[in-house]
Amino acid sequence: MCTENENRVIELATSKEYTESTLAILRNEMEIKREIRLHFIEELKRLAKQKGLDFTYDEGLIHFWDNQWIVFSQPSVSKKWNVYIGWNKHNKSDGVRYGISRQFTIDTQPIPADKLMQIPHVWTEAPQDEEYPCGWAYLRGKDGKTGNWWNWFDIATLEDMANGTMLHFIETEIIDKVIDGHLLKKVQEILPD
Q: Cα separation of 36 and 27, whole Å? A: 16
pLDDT score for 129: 87
Quickly count: other Cβ atoms within 10 Å of residue 121's Cβ: 14
Q: Cα separation of 180 and 185, whole Å? A: 11
pLDDT score for 107: 60
pLDDT score for 146: 87
Q: Cα separation of 81 and 108, whole Å? A: 11
Q: Which residues contact 116 (CB under 8 A, 6 or more apart)?
A: 128, 129, 133
pTM summary value? 0.86
Q: Cα separation of 179 and 60, whole Å? A: 27
Q: Please classify residue 27 by burial: count the beta carbons closer than 10 Å to its beta carbon, then call 0-12 exposed, 13-18 middle and 19+ buried.
A: exposed
pLDDT score for 164: 97
pLDDT score for 153: 81
pLDDT score for 65: 67
Per-residue pLDDT of the chain (193 residues; tens, 9 = 90+): 568 888 888 888 888 888 888 788 888 888 898 899 999 999 999 999 999 999 998 887 777 666 678 999 999 999 889 999 987 655 555 567 899 998 665 566 678 888 889 999 999 988 998 889 999 998 889 988 888 888 888 899 999 999 999 999 999 999 999 999 999 999 999 987 6
pLDDT score for 60: 74
pLDDT score for 5: 82
Amino acid (1-letter code) at residue 148:
N
pLDDT score for 131: 86
Q: Which residues contact 1 (CB under 8 A, 6 or more apart)?
A: 9
